[in-house]
Chain A
Amino acid sequence: MNALNSVFSRGSSGTTVADPTSGRSGEGLPGPDRPRGVDRPKARRNEQLSAFAQRHGALVALVLTVAVASLTFETFATGANLENVALSSAFLAIVALGMTFVIISGGIDLSVGSVFALGGVLAAWGSQHGFLVALLLPLLVCGGFGLINGLLIARTRLAPFIVTLASMLGARGLMLNITDEGNETYLVAEGSFIGELGRGSLLGIALPIWITVGLFAVGGLALRRSRFGQHVYAVGGNEDAASLMGAPVVRTKITVYVLSGLLAGLAGALNAGWLTSGITILGQGMELEAISAVVIGGTLLTGGLGFVSGSLVGVLLLKVIQNIINQIGSLEAAYQQVVSGVFLIVVVVVQTWLARRRRVM
């Protein structure tokens, strides 16, 4: 810990050099180099500020971005465009919900993009065999991938990223295998249940949006109010302590990965219903988008701290930014990749900084 702190203060001294007050024994601006025990009320206020930035920073950024975009682009604040943003957010948000649980538990799930694509293909194929198959088959197979992930990670204690990296490959392999190496695109049957679910609307708002809102409400309650949710926080905070406390560590970990697989599969199925076909190239890079959204929303990558609502805000922020990039036009899709990579770096750097600041204070 000492080593970490000293690394931190050395590392950050470069950023506070420009601070003119830093010479006067740390009065004024709150550089982390400031000696402890000085300005206690100020330190507390700074800590609160860091906590606020961590928790609500994404929301503030979202409001500002939307405000600026509405003023800049006439086409942004139209009903059609906003519904477009909300709808494209819905599928990613469902994936990010599962990712939130995984990351709070101290893990990571890199397989969601492939599982998302697999879920879509299975739903489209299944829609030709009745609505039960269309919904249950993707959930069963994708939940199965989550179960394998969870068992390997929780029971045999393998590193989450390598296990989910392998199942990312496995899920995409399976998906290519059932689509003749990606050459066959299954269409969602006319008037099938999954198509209704993806394209239908209620009170003028698309069904996927309703489903997303419902899932987030349930997910938020489960995380905050249920025993399972408390176990997820405990396992992510300190696995050994959770185990000593009597929390079912193995069961909790398996459950979060199954949940992540199920939600990714469901999102894929809904997306296939919306697109009316199971498109095989979907979901590439989706794991990064989902992780970005979760991290932007204030969930710590080290586990033990996070909010479901933040992930929803994170998804919306990402999609609004993508929408703005599209509004500018002329920019190619490749730029979006550059932007999301840079964006993730910035957010992670800020988060790491905020988290350390709180720990140092």
Chain B
Amino acid sequence: MTTRTAEQATAGLGAAGPPPGAARRAAATAWLQTYGVYAGVAVLLIFNTAFTDHFLSAENFRTQAVQVAPILIVALGMALAIGTEGIDLSVGSVMALSTSLIALYLGYGPWLALLVAIVGGIAVGVLNGSLVAFIGVQPIVATLALMVGAKGLALVLLPQLRDVRDEGMRSLGSGDLLGVPYPALIALALVLVVGFTVRRTTFGRQLLAIGDSRPAAELAGLPVRRVLICVYVCSGVLAATAGFLATARLGASDPTALGNLMELSAITAVVVGGTSLAGGRVRIAGTVAGAVLIQLLTATLIKHDLPPSWTQMAQAAVIVLAVYAARERGKR
């Protein structure tokens, strides 16, 4: 509370007459924060076109699109949670839970399996949301508890890998419509839905108002707790959907590995995309570019025979850089 007032005070001072050098620097960081992610994607595309074999092939673009879909879908939910000045660390475990439930219920057809998985996501979301909204537990702690609990539950339900034998499900993971793979189409549709929700609906406005200042939103009479629960439920449902698509693509349910470190990829995508961790703002286009950036970065490192440990370290650096850029913006 007090820090925010202090920030506002500095902002006021800055408007009165900033030194020219500082203003230019602030403008540069603002540009970096808004367009840095697109520049990053462009740089990676150019680098890969020049130095990676078979990068500019339709097959490669299809692969990348299929692989980016789960990250993107999870990142959409994460963007909503971060917009309310929250966070959802449980998304990776929800994906694992989703894949376990799908393995158990696939016998009744893929759609029922998806439905059960989504119900699982809703359950985790309701728990997360209730802890945050009613009890007032910090989002990090509430979702950290669910992260461990849901992962454990996923492993209890399905202790080891199980192959997907359902043809319908397999074709969903590998098929395409007019050359665009199904997972990418579904991700695109969800991007449009979430983007519309944030920009054009009352729910979206309320979400951003809560992220700006929860006490103010409460005083203004907004249904704060209902909105918060909805946000975490959305995040759970999106993560469960991502788990469904990832299972379909892999052709196997593997709760020990699926969704591991997904919360980090999603947070990176959102933060790199210019959504501030301080809440009150959600940038969907930036999040899409952020997810693409993470995917391209991973693909680049793998294609140049660098081990996964490099990907992890590079991702850590990207997170810190992105948060650092966002912080410059907040200070201005």
Interface membership of B231, Cβ < 8 A: no
Interface membership of B261, Cβ < 8 A: yes
Interface size on A, residues (CB 8 A): 53
* Interface 1/0 per residue, B231-271 and A, CB below 8 Å: 00000000000000000000000000000010010010001
The complex places the Cα of A3 from the Cα of B219 at a distance, in Å, of 7
B155-A332 in contact (CB<8A) = yes
Taking A108-B140, A162-B277, A336-B152 as contacts, is the C-beta distance between A169 and B313 under 8 angstroms?
yes
Interface membership of B151, Cβ < 8 A: yes
B327-A156 in contact (CB<8A) = yes
Chain B residue with minimal CB distance to A342?
B149
* Interface 1/0 per residue, A69-80 and B, CB below 8 Å: 000000000000
For the complex formed, measure the closest distance between the CB of A77 and the CB atoms of chain B, giving whole angstroms.
28
For the complex formed, measure the closest distance between the CB of B81 and the CB atoms of chain A, giving whole angstroms.
13
Interface membership of A288, Cβ < 8 A: yes
* Interface 1/0 per residue, B143-162 and A, CB below 8 Å: 01111111111011001000
For the complex formed, measure the closest distance between the CB of B261 and the CB atoms of chain A, giving whole angstroms.
7
Interface membership of A237, Cβ < 8 A: no
Taking A159-B323, A163-B323, A338-B152 as contacts, is the C-beta distance between A7 and B316 under 8 angstroms?
no
The residue that B152 contacts in the complex, of A8, A166, A335, A356, with Cβ under 8 A, is A335
Interface membership of A68, Cβ < 8 A: no
Interface membership of A277, Cβ < 8 A: no
* Interface 1/0 per residue, A342-361 and B, CB below 8 Å: 10110011001100100000
A152-B320 in contact (CB<8A) = yes
Interface membership of B114, Cβ < 8 A: no
Chain B residue with minimal CB distance to A240?
B2
For the complex formed, measure the closest distance between the CB of A255 and the CB atoms of chain B, giving whole angstroms.
21
B215-A4 in contact (CB<8A) = yes
Query: Interface range on chain B: under 10, 10 to 19, 20 to 34, or 35 or more?
Result: 35 or more
The residue that A348 contacts in the complex, of B145, B149, B308, with Cβ under 8 A, is B145
For the complex formed, measure the closest distance between the CB of B277 and the CB atoms of chain A, giving whole angstroms.
6
B137-A337 in contact (CB<8A) = no
The complex places the Cα of A341 from the Cα of B143 at a distance, in Å, of 10
Interface membership of A205, Cβ < 8 A: no
User: Which of chain B's residues 154-174 have a Cβ closer than 8 Å to chain A?
Assistant: 155-156, 159
Interface membership of A157, Cβ < 8 A: yes
Taking A173-B309, A173-B312 as contacts, is the C-beta distance between A157 and B327 under 8 angstroms?
yes
A167-B137 in contact (CB<8A) = no
Interface membership of B298, Cβ < 8 A: no
The residue that A156 contacts in the complex, of B159, B310, B324, with Cβ under 8 A, is B324
Interface membership of A26, Cβ < 8 A: no
Interface membership of B71, Cβ < 8 A: no
The complex places the Cα of A302 from the Cα of B215 at a distance, in Å, of 17
A341-B148 in contact (CB<8A) = yes
A158-B324 in contact (CB<8A) = yes
User: Which of chain A's residues 157-202 have a Cβ closer than 8 Å to chain B?
Assistant: 157-159, 161-163, 165-167, 169-170, 172-177, 181
What is A's interface to B at a CB cutoff of 8 Å? 3-4, 7-8, 11, 108, 152, 156-159, 161-163, 165-167, 169-170, 172-177, 181, 239-240, 285, 287-288, 291, 295, 301-302, 332-342, 344-345, 348-349, 352-353, 356
What is B's interface to A at a CB cutoff of 8 Å? 2-3, 6, 87, 127, 131, 134-138, 140-142, 144-153, 155-156, 159, 215, 218-219, 261, 264, 267, 271, 277, 307-313, 315-317, 319-320, 323-324, 327
Q: Given contact pairs A288-B148, A291-B141, A335-B156, enumerate 16 new A-B contacts (beta carbons under 8 Å).
A: A3-B215, A4-B136, A4-B215, A158-B327, A161-B140, A170-B313, A173-B309, A173-B313, A337-B152, A338-B149, A341-B145, A344-B141, A344-B144, A345-B142, A352-B135, A352-B137
